[in-house]
Amino acid sequence: MGDFDYSRKKKKKKGENHRGMASPSKRREMDMMKLMMSDYKVDTINDDLQMFYVTFHGPTDSLYEGGVWKIKVELPEAYPYKSPSVGFVNKIYHPNVDESSGAVCLDVINQTWSPMFDLINVFESFLPQLLLYPNPSDPFNGEAASLLMRDRAAYEKKVKEYCKAYAKPEDIGAPVEVSSDDEDEDDSMSDRGSDTDDNDDIAGKADP
């Protein structure tokens, strides 16, 4: 048998650290690519991979169903070893979200975050869980937390009022979708309007 060359070392792939794991910058790129290839709408700012916006819809069977929010995401230099910070741009009524700034209580993410998670997990797991299961004992919005514990029905009503007032597509700058029924109704109204104009013209003519 030939002698084994112990001087040879396995070369690291570009973007890997000494443990064979992707470096933070490479991991950011990969996670951003996965997020942008998913069903989520992502808006970057000057191709910045550390701060961007994602369109998020309220989870099904929750008080927030039907609402849509623009979420601001900031990735720390140490991502994914440190969790991203997220905040709601348009208003939401929730005990764990600051009403004025939209900031989400970091403990909600930090308590369970690990490098195994990626950005898609934020929008498919962390935020839906936050909206489905608010924690009034650790509030960012003291009024919402107090109302939730004191009067659940009043709390639910206020959540829905905020969704109706602040969480529509136009509130995040998205175009409003017009249903085919609305278009048909507009067309029929236009037809009725033109018929009326024609009748007015006929009625206004003098008899010969």
The one catalytic residue in 105, 108, 144, 145 is 105
Task: Decide if 163 is catalytic.
Answer: no
Distance of CA 31 to the CA centre of its chain: 16
Q: What are phi and psi of 48, to 5 degrees?
A: -75, 125
What is the edge-to-edge ordering of all strands in the sheet holding 68-74? 42-45, 48-57, 68-74, 85-88
How far apart are the C-alpha atoms of 70 and 90, rounded to whole Å? 6
What 3-state class would DSSP assign to 85?
A: strand
b/e map 114-142, b = 16+ CB within 10 Å = eeebbbebbbeebbbebbeebbbeebbbe
Residues in the chain: 208
Centroid of chain to Cα 113: 18
Cα separation, 170 vs 188, whole angstroms: 26
Rounded Cα distance, 192 and 198, in Å: 10
Q: How far apart are CA 22 and CA 30, in angstroms?
A: 9
Please identify every residue annotated as catalytic.
105
